[in-house]
Every structure is written in structure tokens, then in C-alpha cells.
């Protein structure tokens, strides 16, 4: 039984998301460097260090975003994706069935 949703649209959305994540990766890496250096400031109060550590932890979660995105792609039904891609080559007219 064919799927009723568009695997092609989900795949295209995943591509767009990946593009945005990749654009954010470099600035986040720079922020990570600065946050790590800030933790080395002399006489830094522990409550500030804890917050910086939490910030670093959150920034490092970008890898989690990438793995979840890969999971979305892996979950797409490959046969239906190929079929929908082939159908889209011929236009977007709806089937009468």
C-alpha cells in the first residue's frame, strides 16, 4: 500500500534543515571556543563556571541534531521515495485513483 504523505517533500525538508545546521555549525564552534576560554578566567565564581559548562554542553548537542536528522532520512521508505521522485519527473498532476 503506497504512503499518503510525500517522502520527497520530507527528504527536501531534511536537505534544507541540514543546510541551515551546517551554516550554524561554524559560528557555534567559535562560540564553543570562546566559552571554553571563558571558563579559564582567573577567580571565576563557581556559579558562573557552571553556567558556562551548561552552555558548552548545549552547543555540543549540535551533533545530536545531525544524528536525528540522519535518522529521519534513514526512516524514509526508499522504494516509495524513488517512486515519488520518478513520478515528480513527469509533473505534479494528481492521480485519479
Q: What is the pLDDT of residue 2?
A: 65
Q: What is the pTM of this model?
A: 0.68
Residue 78 included in any domain: no
Q: What is the count of structural domains for the chain?
A: 1
What pLDDT tens digit does each residue of the chain (97 aa) get? Answer: 566 888 888 989 999 999 999 999 999 999 999 999 999 999 999 999 999 999 999 999 888 998 999 999 998 888 766 777 666 666 655 555 5
Residue 83 belongs to some domain of the structure: no
33 located within any domain: yes
Domain span at 36: 7-73
What pLDDT, on the 0 to 100 scale, is given for residue 21? 92
In a domain, 84, yes or no: no
∠ CA 70-64-68, nearest 5°, is: 30
74-77's contacts with Cβ under 8 Å and 24+ in sequence apart are 76/7, 76/10, 76/11, 77/3, 77/7
Q: Supply the pLDDT for residue 1.
A: 59
Q: What's the pLDDT score for residue 95?
A: 56
With respect to residue 64, please indicate whether it lies within any of the assigned structural domains: yes
Amino acid at each position: 500500500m503506497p504512503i499518503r504523505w510525500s517522502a520527497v517533500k520530507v527528504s527536501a525538508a531534511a536537505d534544507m534543515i541540514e543546510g541551515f545546521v551546517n551554516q550554524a555549525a561554524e559560528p557555534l564552534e567559535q562560540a564553543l571556543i570562546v566559552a571554553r576560554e571563558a571558563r579559564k578566567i582567573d577567580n571565576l565564581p563557581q556559579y558562573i563556571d557552571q553556567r558556562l559548562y551548561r552552555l558548552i554542553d548545549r552547543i555540543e548537542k549540535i551533533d545530536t541534531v545531525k544524528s536525528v536528522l540522519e535518522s529521519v532520512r534513514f526512516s524514509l521508505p526508499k522504494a516509495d521515495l524513488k517512486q515519488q521522485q520518478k513520478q515528480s519527473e513527469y509533473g505534479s498532476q494528481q492521480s485519479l485513483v
